[in-house]
């Protein structure tokens, strides 16, 4: 059972507005977006946060809104990456252009 002091503290925090009686229901859930990754040249391996997600062009669904690190690699070319802002409920598009490797 909760002690009387704890009940008083929680009541005061609720009254002041620091806590809500049901916090999980008061926050609106962000809706995921999608990201179409195009790479020149086509067929490069695409990674999101260092995890391979497919070969370009690739559409990735259900991405949480916010910044995402996208990379592409292909033998004979330099790996390239970019920070992309994913907007909720939008079909976001990014194009990465790979440079030929000097080796």
- For 10-42, how does the pLDDT look when each residue is reduced to its tens digit (9 = 90+)? 665 556 554 444 444 444 556 899 999 999 999
pLDDT, greater one: 89 or 42:
42
Q: Is the pLDDT of residue 55 over 60?
A: yes
Q: What is the three-class DSSP state of 20? A: coil
Res 8: pLDDT: 72
pLDDT of residue 5: 75
Q: Long-range contacts made by residues 43-47, C-beta under 8 angstroms, separation at least 24?
A: 43/74, 44/72, 44/73, 44/74, 44/77, 44/96, 44/98, 45/72, 45/73, 45/74, 46/70, 46/71, 46/72, 47/71, 47/72, 47/73
pLDDT value of residue 1: 52
pLDDT score for 30: 61
CATH of 28-97, one of 3.40.50.300, 2.60.40.10, 3.10.20.90, 3.90.226.10: 2.60.40.10
Domain boundaries, the chain: 28-97
Residue 47 has pLDDT above 90, yes or no: yes
């Amino acid at each position: 059972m909760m002690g009387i002091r704890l009940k008083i503290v929680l009541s005061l925090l609720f009254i002041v507005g620091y806590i809500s009686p049901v916090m999980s229901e008061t926050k609106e859930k962000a809706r995921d977006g999608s990201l179409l990754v195009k790479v020149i040249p086509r067929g490069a391996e695409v990674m999101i946060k260092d995890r391979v997600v497919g070969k370009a062009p690739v559409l990735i669904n259900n991405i949480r809104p916010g910044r995402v690190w996208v990379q592409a690699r292909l033998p004979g070319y330099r790996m390239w990456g970019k920070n992309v802002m994913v907007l909720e409920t939008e079909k976001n598009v990014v194009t990465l252009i790979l440079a030929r490797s000097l080796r």
